[in-house]
Structure formats: C-alpha cells, structure tokens
Amino acid sequence: MNVLLGISGGIAAYKGPDLVRRLRKRGLAVRCVLTANGAKLVAPAALAAVSDQPVYHEAFPLDGQIRHIDLARWADCCLVAPASANLLARVALGLADDLLTTLILALEPEKPLWLAPAMNTVMWRKPVVQEHVATLVRRGARLIDPVDGNLACGEQGVGAMADPERIAELVGA
C-alpha cells in the first residue's frame, strides 16, 4: 500500500522520520509532502533518506509533471501527521493553495484521508478548530485524535500528536 504522508507546520513534524520508519516496517511505501511551514520543522533530507523516496513540496515543479495529480494517483491513502490547525482549516474549506492541500482535493473519494491533529491545547479546544474537524469527519476523513501530554509550549493537556506507532498501526491495518 502506498501512503502519502503530509507533514504540516506543527512541532510534531520532528517525529516524521520516526513515523516513516514505522510505516515502512509494516510494508507500506511512503512518500512525504511538506507544507512550507512543515519544512521549517523537519529536515526534508532526513525524510528522503528514511522513505527512500523523493520529498515533495513544490506545487509548480519545473519538470513538466502535474505533481498533485501524479501523487494523488500514486497514493492508496493520505495521512497528514501532524495536521496543524491551519491545515485542518484549509482542507475543511476546500482550499488548494499548496501542493499538500491541492493533492488532498485531488485524492479520489474512496481513498482514505487520515488526519492526526497536533497543537497547543487552547488551540485544539477552540470551537472553530473543532468545527473544522467535525466537518472533515462528516465528509469521511478518519481522525486520529490527539492525546493528553506535555506539549512543546510547556502546557499539559490534550493536543499532542498520537504516538507514531499507534498512527502506523491504524493506517497499516
């Protein structure tokens, strides 16, 4: 199974290489797509090395390929981990303003879209964030709930990304 791993601008992006390794251990092929802010929080070269695949972030490549369509066709499912509040809002609104959101829009509806949100607990509890999550789930997205934990911002509460092993287990099942 081909997993397209989207990494948006959450601090949990640093867990990306670990998540890739756990997905691959289950026999899944993984290609990573980063948002511009995701690429500030995890090294694309590390993801390329552990996935043994190119890493994508450019929506307008100069090689003549229509990257969002090619990647959407390649994928059997898409997993966004971490999914930032901003990414959830963009997908809920159907925006297609970078490679990741455009290919999510181009993903055939029968292909699962997994979302593993991660953010500060105040952000996670905000009604606007919860409304976007509810909209996405109503449309068929599969939510991997954030967990209670010590957050990077120093707070304790719900908002930490689910454990990479748990995510790999769910997506690979």
Ligand X SMILES: Cc1cc2nc3c(=O)[nH]c(=O)nc-3n(C[C@H](O)[C@H](O)[C@H](O)COP(=O)(O)O)c2cc1C
Q: Catalytic site residues? A: 153
DSSP count for the chain of H helices, then E strands: 8, 8
- Is residue 137 within 8 Å of residue 28, measured between CB atoms? no
Binding ligand X by CB under 6 A: which of 3, 4, 5, 11?
A: 11
Binding ligand X by CB under 6 A: which of 42, 72, 119, 168?
A: 119
Give CA–CA dist 119/82, Å, rounded: 9
Binding ligand X by CB under 6 A: which of 30, 71, 78, 87?
A: 87
Binding ligand X by CB under 6 A: which of 48, 66, 86, 172?
A: 86
Binding ligand X by CB under 6 A: which of 6, 10, 16, 17?
A: 10
Taken in order 148, 150, 155, 159, the sign of the CA dihedral is negative
CB-nearer residue toward ligand X: 12 or 72 = 12
Regarding 164 and contact with ligand X (CB under 6 A), the answer is no
Size of the site for ligand X (CB under 6 A): 16
Regarding 3 and contact with ligand X (CB under 6 A), the answer is no
Main-chain dihedrals φ then ψ at residue 20, nearest 5 degrees = -60, -45
Regarding 121 and contact with ligand X (CB under 6 A), the answer is no
Q: Which range of residues in 8-16, 19-27, 64-72, 106-114 is near ligand X by CB under 6 A?
A: 8-16
143-151: which pairs have CB atoms within 8 A and are 24 or more residues apart?
143/115, 143/117, 144/81, 144/114, 144/115, 144/116, 144/117, 144/170, 145/117, 146/116, 146/117, 146/118, 146/119, 151/120, 151/121
CB-nearer residue toward ligand X: 3 or 119 = 119
Which residues would be at the binding site for ligand X (CB under 6 A)? 8-12, 35, 37-38, 82, 84-87, 118-119, 123
